[in-house]
Chain A
Amino acid sequence: MITVDSLTRRYAGFTAVDNVSFTAQPGRVTGFLGPNGAGKSTTMRVMVGLTVPSSGTATINGARFADLPNPGLEVGVLLDASAQHAGRTGREILGVAADTMGLPRTRVDEMLELVSLTQTEAKRRVRNYSLGMRQRLGIATALLGDPRVLILDEPANGLDPAGIRWMRDLLRGYANQGGTVLLSSHLLHEIEVIADDLVVIGNGRIVASGTKEELLAAAGTLARSTSPRDLAHALEQAGIPSTLAGDGSVRTDADPARVGAVALAAGIPLTELRSAEGAGLEDMFLSLTADTQREGVAA
């Protein structure tokens, strides 16, 4: 379990992380979302002791990261796949990490196989790696010590579609076995598929957190009908504000049960009725972080 309590990190002139508190539970994948520069990476760096907080604490299973006797065996960390010595081979990077943790060298080969880096690729220097290969190497380093907690910053970045699916299955399986997974990503659809809990951060502050179901339920309902105008009209009559989208769908903040009841009463046949999940996370993300978006997007 990762516990972040009232964490604040100030730099000269601005506050990168402002009184952030949340927990990432074991057995669950927690998605950490936010626009560029919202403070995700700073928060993650504080968790693993690379950045000293101005105030507040971050603990892993109740202990400060710096107090863990051999952190690699308890927490797998991937903050930046490109942060490796370019002149070292992939295999050597894993070898050095395994030596530091006191693990046998056989573990290196196991990890190379797990992340699908071939022996030939592992002998090349990291300078010649693509971003996707570096990402795989970074994941291998994180998993090397067989930790129970994973902290991953943008792990899907640079991976090919097969790699993204593999990563998703890996993290899902990991959480199902009781592991704690905290991952940040800009790939909202990816987060939506894999995350159980969400923490949304904007301008250094938490703007929303909770289970994915709670947060997306709040994002409303999407309904389709053969006569969308009638549906929108019926909803308006029932006092439910709705918007008619260009693709013929009707979106509203009300929950699906209510929309269904209104349609039934009005005798309008529905062709689709669901929580507005498809675009829900994106909408939610943009509306929650609207004040903090660089582009000033209005949701």
Chain B
Amino acid sequence: MTATTVTPTSSTDITASVPVRRPDRSISTARLIKVELRKMFDTRSGFWMLVSIGVLSVVATGAVIIFAPDEVVTYDSFATAIGFPMSVILPMIAILGVTSEWSQRSGLTTFTLVPSRGRVIGAKAIATFLVGVVSMGVAFAVGALGNLAGSALAGVDTVWDISLATAPQIVLGNLVGMAIGFTLGVVLRNSAAAIVGYFVVSLVLPGILALLAGVRSWFADLQPWIDWNYTQVELFEGGTDTAREWAMLGSTTAIWIALPLVVGLLFLRRSEVK
């Protein structure tokens, strides 16, 4: 081969990669969480998800100010308006955080740098949780500003009708939605399938279960124990108060999150990353 016209592609000294034995620095969990948080938002889709949380919060707030009749310009109205886009976007963020490793195949690098897949998924779960809590904090703050501005513009008293007991339940309700998305991501390991799956279990399934409960009275009693949407709506409304209601939440969480997550993780840990 004559390469007279070829200019060297690199002027860099090739000996830049000298193999030297060094003490092993293991990878801390805190570092993994930081990396996973970064990976959730350093892609184009991740970036726009994050932006859309902020934008939709403001848009929803604006819509309440403009369209809502004066008597319903209350904090609850703002929280409900902001809560809807949140309850859709947050699970999507949870899903893509897991499935992109397979659908975008970045898992090949991720799991060779950190062979313990359980640790990676654990770090993703914690990162997802943090994103959920911070996003909800932002939502409540934007809603509060909207409530102040809205009541001032409408010339009515500012009404704070979400109690301190209800707010954590709303946050928990959104975290349940994210956990469902995360679980679907772990079980299906495919972005499209997990997103479709999420809409099936959050939009189609409740209708079917409600129909079943309507025609079969024995199921009506059983529904709160197995319908995760039912217990999530209770949370959004701040209606999970009694031990029985918490037990129902525990039951739906076990059925729809804990159990599939454990099974999904077992498969994920041994699955082939291609």
Contact = CB atoms under 8 A, between A and B. Distances in A.
B39 A96 contact: yes
B42 interface: yes
B115 A65 contact: yes
B44 A70 contact: no
Given A99-B38, A100-B32, A80 B105 contact: yes
Contacts of A270: none
B19 A70 contact: no
Interface residues of A, number: 57
Contact of A72 (B34, B39, B113, B270): B113
Interface string A65-94: 110111111110101101111111000110
Given A50-B273, A66-B116, A70-B25, A161 B104 contact: no
A113 B12 contact: yes
Nearest to A169: B14
Interface in B37-96: 38-39, 42-46
A272 interface: no
A41 to B, nearest CB: 9
Interface in B97-122: 100, 104-116
Contacts of B35: 96, 99-100
A87 B31 CA distance: 22
Contact of A102 (B18, B27, B112): B27
A172 to B, nearest CB: 8
Given A45-B272, A84-B105, A162 B9 contact: yes
A13 to B, nearest CB: 15
B135 to A, nearest CB: 20
B8 A50 contact: no
A173 B272 contact: no
Contacts, number: 149
A184 B79 CA distance: 58
Interface string B1-17: 10100111110101111
Contact of A166 (B9, B22, B25): B9
A174 interface: yes
Given A71-B113, A99-B31, A85 B43 contact: yes
Contacts of A238: none
Size class of the B contact interface (CB-based, 8 Å): 35 or more
A56 B273 CA distance: 19
Contacts of A50: 108, 111-112, 272-274
Contacts of B39: 96
A40 interface: no
Contacts of A110: 16
A77 B42 contact: no
A254 B106 CA distance: 50
A177 interface: yes
B115 A71 contact: yes
Contacts of B34: 99
A101 interface: yes
A170 B14 CA distance: 6
B200 to A, nearest CB: 26
Interface string A253-286: 0000000000000000000000000000000000
A101 B20 contact: no
A48 interface: yes
B221 interface: no
Nearest to A87: B43
B24 interface: yes
A49 interface: yes
A53 B273 CA distance: 13
Contacts of B32: 100
Nearest to B47: A87
Contacts of A71: 112-115
Contacts of B217: none
Nearest to A160: B9
Interface of A: 45, 48-52, 65-66, 68-75, 77, 79-80, 82-88, 92-93, 96-97, 99-102, 110, 113-116, 125, 141, 143, 146-148, 161-163, 165-166, 169-170, 173-174, 177-179
Interface of B: 1, 3, 6-10, 12, 14-22, 24-27, 31-32, 34-35, 38-39, 42-46, 100, 104-116, 270, 272-274
What 3 pairs across the A-B complex have the smallest Cβ distances?
Answer: A87-B43, A148-B19, A69-B26
Given A69-B26, A85-B43, A161-B1, 19 more contacts: A45-B274, A50-B112, A72-B113, A73-B25, A74-B24, A75-B112, A80-B105, A84-B109, A87-B44, A96-B39, A99-B31, A100-B113, A102-B31, A114-B12, A116-B10, A162-B6, A169-B14, A173-B14, A173-B15
